Chain A
Amino acid sequence: MIEVKNLNKSYGDFVAIRDVTFIAEQGQILGFLGPNGAGKTTTMRIITGFMPATSGTVVIDGLDSFRQSLEARSRIGYLPENPPLYNELRVRSYLRFVAKLRGVAKPQVEAAVDHMIEVCGLSTMAHRICGQLSKGFRQRVGLAQALIHNPPVLVLDEPTIGLDPRQIHEIRELIRGLAGKRTIVLSTHILPEVSQICDKVVIINEGRVVLEEQLSAMPAGTSLEDLFLSTIAKEHHEGIEAPEELLEEVGAGHG
């Protein structure tokens, strides 16, 4: 379970996210939606412990991600936006390294690597050098890397980006199959992806959560696309309206 409470993050004067709050239950796949630059990656980086929030808390399975950082981090599998591959290593030795790094017990390392190579369809690529892989295979190795220690919590930043339609389908099936007892947060801006594989959707815009909704609780007939556009548009509308009002007031003053 991931509980995100009142998360704020600013870089100097720039506020990346403000007051972000949502919960992803165990066994749930949460789709994290938002336009580019909305703060998805920032939120995910805070959840995974890559960087601390300016204020607010993240609790992973009852562990505070800041105060019990090591314990919390050991429960998370994370696929960043760019798969974090060491280009000079071969796929197998890379996965072996990540397994050890993520605390897989020594006797189980080889088994875990073999299992991931099979699950992610990498058997033909196991002896290739990471730097020579195509985008699709890099993404798969990235996913294998995130899953290798069998983590109860998965954070996937745009897992299907850059893949061809068949690969997208495969990865979605894979993620769907992973759910079970895990908590999965995945960010994307492909809307059908969310309706296909997610149980819950959180929409974030300009650093704020504008919608948190169970997909099953959505009124029949409303498509996610309409919902997304209307929530984002509402935001924009309010944003633009304010100066107009201001202008009118100024105009009235002159009149």
Chain B
Amino acid sequence: MRNTLTIAGKELQSYFVQPIAYVVMAVFLLLGGWFFFVLVRRFDLMMHLYGAMQNTQGLESLNLNDTILSPLLQDLSIVLVILVPALTMRTFAEEKRLGTYELLLTAPIRTGEIVAGKFIAAAAIVLLMILLAGIYPLILILFGNPELGLIGAEWLGMALLAVSFVSIGLFTSSLTQNQIIAAITCFGILLLLYVISWPAELGGVTLGNVLRYLALPEHFDQMIKGVIDTTDIVYFFSVILLALFLTQRSVESARWR
């Protein structure tokens, strides 16, 4: 555990002095602010329209969670697809290129501890980022009355999604010594997980169900609507554990090549 924390501490230090962490967080929050502004303006406009038309049904259907926060997270999840690979691409690839890999692998620590340390650090950055994005619901809470329980579920979904992305990013970085290859591979996998269910209607029932189960939006969309289902949580944890397991195997196997 001590070794894991040593690695995590050094990684966090590197993220902040480089200063990758600040840039990634700034881009995420600036885009988040833009989306939030657009969604709030749209909400406002629709309220006026429905009010002018005296459409009570329309007015009732408007609520802060469904009309602002869910779409906001939807948009931000796409931003993560691009930002997370950029954040994680250096984790292993850079060490290989600079030769510090030799320092890590000859130190009296286990491969699992190296992977765990790097995972904790990268996950901490994205979780901090998502926590800071809590400013948007906070604004809504100050000026309106969104449902707090739903916000919790939405943010939990977002956190699980981001941490899954991070573990996939670690895996692709462990495969290569080229950071660009690591980032692009990660980006490709994440995008594929978004669209993998597209042909679900075309194939047989079983195949369709499998593809739908694999697809990220199937699980994520439920969670950002505020529905917490064990299936979805199991899905995200499976992705995280599988990717970390593969990373550990890949780092270990590097010794044998």
Interface on A for B, CB 8 Å cutoff?
11, 45, 48-52, 70-71, 73-74, 76, 78, 80-89, 93, 97-98, 100-103, 145
Q: How many residues of B contact A (CB 8 A)?
A: 26
Q: In the bound complex, do residue A80 and residue B108 qualify as a contact, i.e. CB atoms below 8 Å apart? A: no
- Tell me whether A74 and B102 are in contact in the complex, defined as CB-CB below 8 angstroms, given that A51-B255, A86-B10, A88-B14 are known contacts: no
Q: In the bound complex, do residue A98 and residue B106 qualify as a contact, i.e. CB atoms below 8 Å apart? A: no
Q: In the bound complex, do residue B100 and residue A85 qualify as a contact, i.e. CB atoms below 8 Å apart? A: yes
3 interchain residue pairs of minimum CB distance = A74-B108, A84-B103, A84-B100
Q: In the bound complex, do residue B103 and residue A145 qualify as a contact, i.e. CB atoms below 8 Å apart? A: yes
- Tell me whether A49 and B17 are in contact in the complex, defined as CB-CB below 8 angstroms, given that A82-B99, A100-B6 are known contacts: no
Q: In the complex, which of the residues A71, A82, A89, A97 contacts B108, with contact meaning CB atoms closer than 8 Å? A: A71
CB neighbours (8 Å) of A49 from chain B are: 105-106
Q: In the bound complex, do residue A101 and residue B98 qualify as a contact, i.e. CB atoms below 8 Å apart? A: no
CB neighbours (8 Å) of A103 from chain B are: 108
A98: nearest chain-B partner, CB-CB: B103
CB neighbours (8 Å) of A52 from chain B are: 255-256
Q: In the bound complex, do residue A80 and residue B13 qualify as a contact, i.e. CB atoms below 8 Å apart? A: no
Q: In the bound complex, do residue A70 and residue B105 qualify as a contact, i.e. CB atoms below 8 Å apart? A: no
Q: A117 → chain B, closest Cβ, in Å?
A: 18
Q: In the complex, which of the residues A76, A80, A86 contacts B14, with contact meaning CB atoms closer than 8 Å? A: A86
A-B contact pairs, 16 of them (CB 8 A): A11-B257, A45-B102, A49-B105, A50-B106, A51-B256, A70-B108, A73-B107, A84-B100, A86-B10, A86-B98, A88-B14, A88-B17, A88-B18, A97-B6, A101-B6, A101-B109
Q: In the bound complex, do residue B10 and residue A84 qualify as a contact, i.e. CB atoms below 8 Å apart? A: no
Is B3 close to A, CB under 8 A? yes
Is B225 close to A, CB under 8 A? no
Interface on B for A, CB 8 Å cutoff?
2-3, 6-7, 9-10, 13-14, 17-18, 98-110, 255-257
Q: B187 → chain A, closest Cβ, in Å?
A: 24
CB neighbours (8 Å) of A86 from chain B are: 10, 14, 98, 100
Q: B20 → chain A, closest Cβ, in Å?
A: 9
Q: In the bound complex, do residue A76 and residue B106 qualify as a contact, i.e. CB atoms below 8 Å apart? A: yes
The B contact surface, by secondary structure, is: helix
B6: nearest chain-A partner, CB-CB: A100
Q: In the bound complex, do residue A80 and residue B99 qualify as a contact, i.e. CB atoms below 8 Å apart? A: yes
Q: A206 → chain B, closest Cβ, in Å?
A: 22
CB neighbours (8 Å) of A70 from chain B are: 108-110
- Tell me whether A102 and B107 are in contact in the complex, defined as CB-CB below 8 angstroms, given that A88-B17, A89-B17 are known contacts: yes
Q: A128 → chain B, closest Cβ, in Å?
A: 13
- Tell me whether A73 and B106 are in contact in the complex, defined as CB-CB below 8 angstroms, given that A51-B256, A86-B10 are known contacts: yes
CB neighbours (8 Å) of B104 from chain A are: 101
Known: A73-B107, A101-B3, A101-B104. 5 other contacts (CB 8 A): A49-B105, A73-B106, A97-B6, A97-B9, A102-B107
B117: nearest chain-A partner, CB-CB: A101
A101: nearest chain-B partner, CB-CB: B107
CB neighbours (8 Å) of A50 from chain B are: 102, 105-106, 255
Q: A142 → chain B, closest Cβ, in Å?
A: 9
A90: nearest chain-B partner, CB-CB: B17
